[in-house]
């Protein structure tokens, strides 16, 4: 019986070393789903003709982004102080360095998209249709400047997310490194 317990404990301990902690995994999937939604919704706003639907999608988009904006500093601080899981066996140093660079780029671009998205909104908005959130600029020149930054940052973020997802597919199903287990 003792060997079963020690075997189980060793197995759980090894699994823990190969996975991100619960807060990191929760934040990853919360941000991943919200970023995918807001990217799709943001682009959809350019083709939605129905003003009522446009308003609903826009308010939902801004509201979700506002929640992310509040959580983003927590995620960044936690990423800086947490213990990362062990390196993936079979992944070269160059690929590991590229992965770290891509993750940093995802963080920087996410921050830029969130901040520029907030700053580009003139006249404020209703958070989930309930609470008024005032934004700092009403001047069209200033908000247009932030809109332009937001647009290009969204393009770059969408490309980085696609790159990240392609790397996951490659490592999970082609190289068979079981990388998905680290975030589940």
The pLDDT tens digits of the residues spanning 65-97 come to 999 999 999 999 999 999 888 887 777 888 888
Q: Sign of the CA dihedral 154, 149, 137, 110?
A: positive
Contacts of 180 (CB under 8 A, 6+ apart): 168, 172
State residue 3's pLDDT score: 44
Which of 56-65, 98-107, 116-125, 142-151 comes out lowest in average pLDDT? 98-107
Band (pLDDT 50/70/90 cuts) for residue 2 is very low
Q: Are 37 and 64 in contact (CB under 8 A)?
A: yes
pTM given for the model? 0.86
Q: Give the Cα separation of 110 and 131 in Å (integer).
A: 24
pLDDT digits (tens, 9 = 90+) for 110-148: 999 999 999 999 999 999 999 999 999 999 999 999 999
- Could you read off the pLDDT of 9-41 as tens digits, one per residue? 444 445 557 898 999 999 999 999 999 999 999
């Amino acid at each position: 019986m003792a060997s079963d317990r020690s075997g189980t404990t060793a197995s759980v301990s090894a699994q823990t070393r190969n996975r991100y902690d619960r807060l990191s995994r929760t934040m990853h999937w919360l941000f991943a789903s919200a970023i995918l939604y807001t990217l799709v919704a943001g682009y959809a706003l350019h083709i939605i003709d129905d003003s009522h639907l446009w308003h609903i999608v826009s308010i939902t988009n801004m509201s979700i982004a506002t929640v992310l904006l509040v959580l983003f500093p927590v995620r960044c601080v936690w990423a800086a102080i947490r213990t990362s899981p062990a390196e993936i066996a079979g992944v070269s140093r160059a690929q590991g360095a590229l992965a770290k660079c891509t993750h940093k780029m995802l963080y920087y671009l996410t921050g830029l998209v969130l901040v520029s998205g907030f700053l580009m909104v003139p006249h404020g908005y209703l958070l989930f249709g309930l609470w008024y959130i005032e934004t700092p600029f009403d001047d069209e020149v200033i908000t247009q400047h932030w809109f332009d930054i937001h647009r290009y940052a969204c393009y770059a973020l969408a490309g980085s997310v696609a790159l990240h997802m392609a790397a996951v597919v490659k490592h999970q199903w082609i190289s068979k490194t079981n990388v998905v287990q680290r975030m589940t």
